[in-house]
Structure 1
C-alpha cells in the first residue's frame, strides 16, 4: 500500500469519525431534551416519595447502629492497633540490642 493510499484511507476514516460524532451529538441532544420533558413535576414528586419509602424501609442506620457491625469494626481496630504496637516493641528491642552490642564493641577496642 502506497503513501497516497494511506493518506486517502486516513482521510476517509476522519470523515467517518466526524459524521459519527455529529450523529452522536444529535442523539445526545435529543436524549437530553426527551429526558427533561419526561420529568414533569408530578413524576419528580412520585420518584422522591418512592425513593424516600425505599430508603426508609431499608433502615441502613439501624443495621449499622445495632451494634453488630460497629462492634466488629471496634474489635478489628483494636486487633490492628495491638499488632502494630507489638511490632514496634520488637523493633525497639532489636534496636536496643544492636546499640548494646555497638557500645560493648567500642569499649573493648583500644584507642589508637
Structure 2
C-alpha cells in the first residue's frame, strides 16, 4: 500500500517537472508567465481545469511564489480543485500542499 502511494507521488512529481517550462530559479514570476502556464494546464488537463482562478487569487499566487511562502490548500467538501491548484502552484516553482498532506502541531504550554 505505501509503495503504491510512493510510486504515485514520484509519478506526480515527474509530471510536474514536465509541466514546468516556466519555473524561474530566482522566483521571478509575473502575470504573463502565470497566464502562459494556465494555457499549458488547460491544454493538458482540459479547458475548464483552472476556471476557479479569480484575478485576486492569481495575484495572491504570484505574491506567495515571489516571497517563497508555502501554501496550504484546504476545503471541507468534495471536488473543488485543490489538487489542480497545488500542481499548478508547484509548476510555477511555488511550494504548495493540500491540508491532508501536512501535520498541524499545536503548542499549548507557554515558555
Common fold by TM > 0.5: no
Higher strand share: 2
Higher RCO (CA 8 Å, separation ≥ 6 residues): 2
- Structure of larger gyration radius: 1
Output the TM-score relative to the length of structure 2: 0.20
Output the TM-score relative to the length of structure 1: 0.20
